[in-house]
Amino acid sequence: MTDAAKCTKVPFRERGQAPPIASGGFLLEEFSWERGPFTRCAKCGHEAMGILSAGGQLLTKRCTNCRRMVQIPLPELDKKAIYLDQFMFSMIYNVKNGGNLPKGHEAFAKEVYALLRRCVLLQQVFLPHSDIHHDETTVFHSPIDLRGLYEFFGGDVSVMDSRDVKLLQDIQFAKAYFDGNEPEVSLDIDEIADSRRNEWLPDMHVGVRADYSQFADHIRTVRSDVHDALKQLADTWVKNKASFGGVLESEFAAIGPTKGQAFANWLEEVSNPDPSDPLALFESSGRPIYREYRELCHLLEDRGVDEDNQAIEIMRFWHWERQREIPHQKISSYLFAAVAKRVVMGEKKIVDRGLINDVRTISTYAPYVDALFIDKRCAALLKEEPLRAELDYKARVFSMRDPDEFLEYLREIEGQTPDEVREYAAMIYGID
Ligand SMILES: [Zn+2]
């Protein structure tokens, strides 16, 4: 990533410039690191106390005249996590770059752009980015710029990769199973968001421009394989006139066998490596199923289970009937059952290339984030019974079905910004 990674500095505001001074008949613009607004310096009395830097928990001010420096602790924050899907990020990208906006939603696009930016700069909101975005961004026409956009525009807080979130929940259930306790999963955003969530954004943003386009072909292939598999599944649903309850039950029943099979496949791969593909072995060491297996072995080791008995215990855990209560398993199974119902009713178009990622996004992140802006079709499924009554997650769900509802939500957050935070944000980021 050496050649592809370039550092760019994007100033939130222009650095300050002291007033021009006359020098031998020429006007020189004298550069200063401090920038406005300038206030009176307690030491020298000049109106020269400007902002030197801001970010984290501190605002640093310095006098351009006598160099006196003060550090001011910034108010504590509690930012809300608003997860936007790739469609929204692409739209924001197009507003920013004058691209095509979705027909009939031009006004919404511009307004949501302005409101989101404002909420982010008021330090009330961050727009987390995840591996699901990164995969989709890689196949976008301007991947580098789009990635830069959600790192810059969204307040640059990433959340754990979806597979790590799943693993986290699986491990919490495994502990309960091995110890004979009631499963407990903490769904606090801080479990999955990086620790800088509640820091003030730096007044200068430094982003690494990394080019991931070399992975685009691989991602396209994987996605079309998954899509083909799902289309086949949809045909089976139609042929068997599958019901919601039937598909839900078979999704749940498949958890243990699917994990067992995935593990057997992995074992097969590493036992008979393809000599023409040395990378394959390396790749298989990162497989989610292997990672889960290894973590579970550690748990069992800690509990004094010897190596010979670990595999059998893990198989038992994978077949535990309460696997279906693990949040990501439960939500994705309900969504697939709801999709199956629609497909059987003749709505085959619901199974498209984006569906898997939508299901992944919702089942992974809905329990943790404050709001999700997702595809219309999945938002509609979540509002149907029994999903509405039986699924339990924190996020408020928004979609293009009711764009005004989302704008209203953002205006509410905007309006609830504490005065002190608003004043500092105005000073640091230049918003009014
Ligand atoms: Zn001074």
Do residues 178 and 105 share a domain?
Answer: yes
Residue 32 Cα to ligand 1 midpoint, Å, equals 14
CA 356 to chain centre: 16
pLDDT tier, 278 (very low <50, low <70, confident <90, very high otherwise): low
Q: What is the pLDDT of residue 222?
A: 59
Cis peptide before 386 (omega within 30 of 0): yes
Do residues 187 and 268 share a domain?
Answer: yes
The answer to which of 29-33, 121-125, 176-180, 357-361 has the lowest mean pLDDT is 29-33
Maximum CA pair distance of the chain? 90
Tell me, yes or no, whether 226 lies in a domain.
Answer: yes
Of 56, 73, 90, the one marking the end of a domain is 73
Do residues 416 and 285 share a domain?
Answer: yes
Q: What is the pLDDT of residue 100?
A: 86
Residue 344 Cα to ligand 1 midpoint, Å, equals 75
Average pLDDT over residues 111-135: 88
Q: At residue 153, does pLDDT exceed 80?
A: no
Do residues 62 and 200 share a domain?
Answer: no
Q: What is the pLDDT of residue 156?
A: 73
* Tokens standing for residue 410: 């953002």
Residue 70 Cα to ligand 1 midpoint, Å, equals 11
Residue 274 Cα to ligand 1 midpoint, Å, equals 70
Residue 52 Cα to ligand 1 midpoint, Å, equals 13
Tell me which long-range contacts 190-195 makes (C-beta under 8 A, separation of at least 24).
Answer: 191/368, 192/159, 192/160, 192/164, 192/165, 192/168, 192/365, 192/368, 193/81, 193/126, 193/128, 193/157, 193/158, 193/159, 193/160, 193/368, 194/157, 194/158, 194/159
Residue 67 Cα to ligand 1 midpoint, Å, equals 6
pLDDT tier, 147 (very low <50, low <70, confident <90, very high otherwise): low
Tell me, yes or no, whether 1 lies in a domain.
Answer: no
Do residues 145 and 215 share a domain?
Answer: yes
Do residues 108 and 54 share a domain?
Answer: no
Do residues 19 and 151 share a domain?
Answer: no
Residue 71 Cα to ligand 1 midpoint, Å, equals 14
State which residues form the domain around 58.
9-73
Of 38, 53, 73, the one marking the end of a domain is 73
| Rg, C-alpha atoms of the chain | 26
Do residues 147 and 34 share a domain?
Answer: no
Tell me, yes or no, whether 164 lies in a domain.
Answer: yes
Residue 53 Cα to ligand 1 midpoint, Å, equals 17
Over residues 8-24, the pLDDT tens digits come to 444 444 444 444 433 34
Over residues 415-424, the pLDDT tens digits come to 999 999 999 9
Residue 48 Cα to ligand 1 midpoint, Å, equals 6
Of 73, 90, 111, the one marking the end of a domain is 73
Q: What is the pLDDT of residue 285?
A: 64
Do residues 108 and 237 share a domain?
Answer: yes
Tell me, yes or no, whether 280 lies in a domain.
Answer: yes
**What's the Cα-to-Cα distance from 3 to each of 142, 151, 219, 376, rounded to whole Å?**
18, 20, 22, 40
CA 119 to chain centre: 17
Tell me which range, 91-95, 128-132, 236-240, 321-325, is most confidently predicted by mean pLDDT.
Answer: 321-325
Report the candidate in 155, 157, 129 with the shortest Cα–Cα distance to residue 143: 129
Do residues 175 and 206 share a domain?
Answer: yes
**Average pLDDT of the residues of the chain:** 83
Residue 50 Cα to ligand 1 midpoint, Å, equals 10
Residue 10 Cα to ligand 1 midpoint, Å, equals 29
Tell me, yes or no, whether 2 lies in a domain.
Answer: no
Residue 49 Cα to ligand 1 midpoint, Å, equals 7
Do residues 55 and 105 share a domain?
Answer: no
Q: At residue 141, does pLDDT exceed 70?
A: no
Residue 65 Cα to ligand 1 midpoint, Å, equals 5
Tell me, yes or no, whether 88 lies in a domain.
Answer: yes
Report how many domains make up the chain. Answer: 2
Q: With pLDDT > 70 as the criterion, what percentage of the chain qualifies?
A: 80
Tell me, yes or no, whether 263 lies in a domain.
Answer: yes
Tell me, yes or no, whether 3 lies in a domain.
Answer: no
Over residues 345-360, the pLDDT tens digits come to 988 888 877 888 899 9
Do residues 211 and 274 share a domain?
Answer: yes
Residue 62 Cα to ligand 1 midpoint, Å, equals 8
Residue 60 Cα to ligand 1 midpoint, Å, equals 14
